[in-house]
Structure 1
Amino acid sequence: MPLFHLFLLAIIQGLTEFLPVSSSGHLILLPALTSLDDQGLVIDVAVHIGTLFAVCWYFRQDVGLAARGVPELMRGRIESRGGFLALCLVIATIPVMILGLVFKLLGVMEMLRSVAVIGWMMIIFGIVLYLTDRMGPQTRKSEGWTLKHALYLGLWQAIALIPGTSRSGIVISGARALGYGRHDAAKLSMLMSIPTIIASGALMGIDVVRIADWQATRDGAIAAFISFFAAWAALVFMMKLLRSVSFTPYVIYRLILGSILLVIAYS
């Protein structure tokens, strides 16, 4: 794959994975709206690995806390904040894993990879993000996350399997509806992305091993490297911006892009 194509894919994935604008939707649109070839499964997994390392590094204290709680989780005896955080993340990941497996077995994902679907989801869930952000109070902190809220946000996250929805955007919407502050809602969304990316990568792992070769492996490594830095920059930008600005700029972007896509799809 040409270096420019790899660079473009990695930048798009890195910048959009954690912003509430749908990274999967942008990756699908790139070959759909240009003459570029579809990047394939290996590159898809690679750029997600890059963003995974970026979010783990950015939230390394929380990730370390959850990692230290995993042994407690395996013993079935939660005794610390780290163990409880690990349990919440597992519960929040279960719905998307189940629905993702069902979609894969039924071939639903291929049916949803269309410009029209992405356009509608951009608009619909952009409006949802705006309403929940405007109407939701900002009284809860991420440290007060509960098992009930973890399951609730996990169900919201499962909706993001529809391209154009945005995994981070839908979780942030759910968290804002529950009353979490903007910064805390974004933090929960980012932490929930870690086991979700790992689970989706594992689900596609067998196919990747089967089709990968030296050239694909090299291209994947380059894409992962670039997407790491792009995702890191996007995280730093958004988390700092949220201390003083709402999610409205992302909503406007979604509405404009969604409208353009619908014009293209139905013209």
Structure 2
Amino acid sequence: MFAFTSILNINAHAQNGKKAFIGGERLKYQIYYGFINGGEATLQVNEQVFNGKPAYHLYLNGRTVGIANTLYNVNDTYESYTDPATHWPYFSIRNIHEGRYRHYSTQTWDHWSRPDSSIVISSKTGKVVVSKGCQDILSSVYYLRNKMLTIPPLKQDQTIMVDTYFTDEKYPLTVRFKGYETIKTKFGPVKCMKFMPVVITGRVFKTKDDMTIWFSNDSNFIPIRIKFDIFVGSVYCDLIEYKNLANEFTALERK
């Protein structure tokens, strides 16, 4: 089903019945720079109805707190309503508050009217034809989590690609597998798979290698730690709370 080369494109729809996440999952993160608690982030999945159809409402909010809020004042929210069967997005929201910078846009998705492509209608740029099953940036994380349950074990430096539409541009999200590591957390050591997404350089990142994500090496595939190397230094997001996981948290090495 999957052609294993140096790049594995996983946009094709395939499921094996098992789920990496379910409605009600909630993940909370602490964001810090050095020893400074710089903020907090929440990832949440809710079961809802969107335009009369069952949907997952995916929600991400990241914001600064304390001194960091005084200096940077960040409050970013991403939302995505997705089809629980295919995990393709119906509707997306990007609401950015970073200092004086503001951005609000929506994207409406049509994956079903064309046999070989999808359509996204952006509130900023209008109608664009994209690849079949194209993702927004938030839904791509959950899409990838589920797809990891269906693909063969990855090899060192193997690359996964998911087609996305992000910042009003077609953006092939490329993620490189960098091997396995055990991460120390407040819950204990967690066995992880380490990935480096290729990021967009410019306003936040200096190079395409400035982001690393550690996912739990189990059937939940939870983001355990995220590291950003940005202009002001390294910023870490560490998981500090989890609720309503789809599967037993087997990557956690319990004492």
For normalisation by structure 2, the TM-score amounts to: 0.25
For normalisation by structure 1, the TM-score amounts to: 0.24
Structure with higher helix content: 1
Structure with higher strand content: 2
Structure ranking higher on relative contact order (CA contacts 8 Å, 6+ apart): 1
